[in-house]
């Protein structure tokens, strides 16, 4: 390894205990939110056959061209890839298990994805996504619902504040419309061929739409003058796009139409959208999605319309932290102290009894002076310390010390002794009284 100490792979980070509460808070809010819109969870493997992603994402894309972690299984020579996104695997599962056989589906997933990119703020090699797909719906009502659902999530997470999270939409039309646009786009860009960068020149004839997506500032003038897909839309596509906008306006959701947003993948059609924030520097896209009506057929299923999005959890978490929106991780209710020897066994049993009563309990482990244990109890944030010393052991009791705010609101004196039978009830009453006065 050539390194003195062991470390994680570059761009792949540990989630440390200090950060775990905000992730747990986020995951709980998201799970409730998805349920409230009728979504069901689907969990697909982290590894799929490489061809699933090549088919599902498209050959001429950043992901397939240069970002996938692909390898050959040493034991049987199979070509495998760590998922760089969820959609392809979810579509594979839908086709494999005929999930849309009798009804449309609203599906969600959450977990790690892997892309070999240059690590920087907001861009990692292992990152996490919430992925949502609605298959079997032709829209535009479901398109609007999906976007409204996200607008609601930003509120739930407390990050919706004006200017922080904004919505851009576009309509990519259908294949024939895109082909006409593509022809004109290639002629237009060819006029500037000597000014294009290497990426753009390479894509000029393979995926010219993607050039419109380029983040190279040297190309921005050329891109600004390029033919716009929205001018090539036929009546049906236009009606779909108008239908979406009518619903968004009715719901009071602000948006801008960005005719240069193409979202890179060639199977996208009609609606595409992104939620963007300026609060995170260059990596400001929180969430991107769109309609992919041709995809399921391409993956070997019956023609089935669909729309979905992927949300970058790291970026959303960073915004939540900035907004200070997550609730603090609740501390345990009780910290149990003992004096070692036989009091340790008693404390062990008392802690289990308190958990039976529904309390969250931290039991002191190891030997330490009462003074040092009291310090730990206090630092733990628990409401109560329960002390099992020699006296308590002999009399079958426990001493309870209220650790927080010792004012009149306390349900009992700062310190009291309870028979073990009454201890659980007394602490539960104490917690209820404390939360009522808080």
Q: Please, are residues 271 and 258 in contact by the beta-carbon 8 Å criterion?
A: no
- Between 178 and 315, whose beta carbon lies closer to ligand ATP? 315
- As measured in angstroms, the least distance from the Cβ of 244 to ligand ATP is 19
- Between 270 and 393, whose beta carbon lies closer to ligand ATP? 270
- As measured in angstroms, the least distance from the Cβ of 313 to ligand ATP is 8
Alpha helices in 173-302 (DSSP H): 175-190, 198-203, 220-224, 235-250, 295-298
- As measured in angstroms, the least distance from the Cβ of 283 to ligand ATP is 6
- Between 261 and 387, whose beta carbon lies closer to ligand ATP? 261
- Between 100 and 214, whose beta carbon lies closer to ligand ATP? 214
- Between 208 and 312, whose beta carbon lies closer to ligand ATP? 312
- Between 57 and 393, whose beta carbon lies closer to ligand ATP? 57
Three-state DSSP state, 132: strand
DSSP codes joined into one string, 353-399: HHHHTT--EEE--S---HHHHHHHHHHTT-SEEEEE-HHHHHHTEEE
Q: Please, are residues 399 and 387 in contact by the beta-carbon 8 Å criterion?
A: yes
- Between 48 and 392, whose beta carbon lies closer to ligand ATP? 48
Give the separation between CA 31 and CA 191, rounded to whole angstroms: 50
- As measured in angstroms, the least distance from the Cβ of 150 to ligand ATP is 12
Q: Please, are residues 106 and 134 in contact by the beta-carbon 8 Å criterion?
A: yes
- Between 53 and 335, whose beta carbon lies closer to ligand ATP? 53
Three-state DSSP state, 343: helix
Name the residue with tokens 């090539």.
232
Give the separation between CA 237 and CA 362, rounded to whole angstroms: 60
Q: Which residues bind to ligand ATP, rule: CB under 6 A?
A: 85, 115, 117, 122-124, 127, 129, 283, 285-288, 310, 312, 314-315
Find all residues with CB under 8 Å of 172, minimum gap 6, and list them.
178, 229, 262, 263, 268, 269, 270, 271, 272, 290
Give the separation between CA 366 and CA 372, rounded to whole angstroms: 12
- As measured in angstroms, the least distance from the Cβ of 333 to ligand ATP is 37
Q: How far is CA 123 from CA 70, 161, 163, 285, in A?
A: 19, 24, 22, 11
- As measured in angstroms, the least distance from the Cβ of 315 to ligand ATP is 5
Count of CA atoms in the C-beta half-sphere (13 A) of 72: 4
- As measured in angstroms, the least distance from the Cβ of 114 to ligand ATP is 9
- As measured in angstroms, the least distance from the Cβ of 131 to ligand ATP is 8
Give me the phi and psi of 385, to 5 degrees please: -100, 135
How would you list the strands of the sheet with 40-41, edge to edge? 40-41, 105-114, 126-135, 306-312, 285-291, 269-276, 166-171, 256-257
Position closest to ligand ATP via CB: 312
- Between 23 and 188, whose beta carbon lies closer to ligand ATP? 23
Give the separation between CA 277 and CA 402, rounded to whole angstroms: 45
């Amino acid at each position: 390894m050539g390194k003195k100490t062991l470390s994680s792979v570059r761009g792949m980070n540990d989630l440390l205990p200090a950060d775990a509460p905000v992730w747990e808070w986020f995951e709980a809010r998201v799970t409730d939110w998805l349920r409230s819109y009728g979504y069901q969870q689907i969990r697909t493997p982290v590894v799929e056959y490489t061809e699933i992603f090549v088919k599902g994402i498209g050959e001429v894309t950043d992901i397939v061209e240069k970002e996938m972690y692909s390898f050959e299984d040493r034991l049987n020579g199979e070509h495998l890839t760590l998922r760089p996104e969820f959609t392809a695997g979810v579509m594979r599962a839908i086709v494999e298990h005929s999930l849309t056989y009798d009804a449309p589906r609203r599906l969600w997933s959450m977990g790690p994805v892997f892309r070999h990119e240059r690590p920087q703020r907001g861009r990692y090699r292992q990152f996490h996504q919430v992925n949502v797909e609605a298959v079997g719906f032709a829209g535009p009502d479901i398109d609007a619902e999906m976007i409204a659902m996200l607008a609601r999530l930003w509120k739930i997470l407390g990050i919706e504040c004006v200017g922080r999270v904004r919505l851009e939409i576009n309509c990519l039309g259908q294949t024939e419309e895109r082909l006409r646009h593509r022809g004109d786009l290639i002629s237009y860009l060819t006029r500037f061929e000597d000014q294009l960068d290497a990426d753009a020149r390479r894509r000029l004839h393979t995926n010219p739409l993607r050039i419109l997506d380029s983040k190279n500032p040297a190309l921005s003038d050329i891109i600004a003058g390029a033919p716009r897909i929205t001018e090539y839309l036929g009546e049906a596509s236009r009606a779909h796009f108008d239908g979406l906008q009518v619903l968004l306006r009715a719901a009071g959701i602000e948006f801008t139409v960005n005719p240069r947003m193409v979202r890179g993948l060639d199977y996208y059609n009609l609606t595409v959208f992104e939620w963007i924030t300026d609060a995170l520097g260059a990596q400001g896209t929180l969430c991107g999605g769109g309609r992919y009506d041709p995809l399921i057929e391409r993956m070997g299923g019956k023609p089935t319309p669909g729309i979905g999005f992927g949300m970058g959890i790291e970026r959303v978490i960073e915004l939540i932290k900035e907004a200070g929106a997550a609730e603090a991780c609740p501390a345990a209710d009780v910290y149990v102290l003992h004096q070692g020897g036989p009091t340790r066994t008693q404390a062990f049993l008392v802690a289990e009894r308190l958990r039976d009563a529904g309390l969250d309990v931290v039991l002191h482990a190891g030997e330490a002076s009462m003074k040092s244990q009291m310090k730990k109890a206090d630092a733990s944030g628990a409401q109560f310390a329960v002390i099992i010393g020699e006296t308590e052991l002999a009399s079958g009791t426990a001493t309870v010390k209220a650790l927080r705010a010792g004012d009149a609101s306390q349900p009992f004196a700062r310190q009291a002794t309870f028979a073990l039978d009454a201890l659980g009830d007394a602490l539960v009453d104490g917690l209820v009284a404390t939360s009522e006065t808080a």
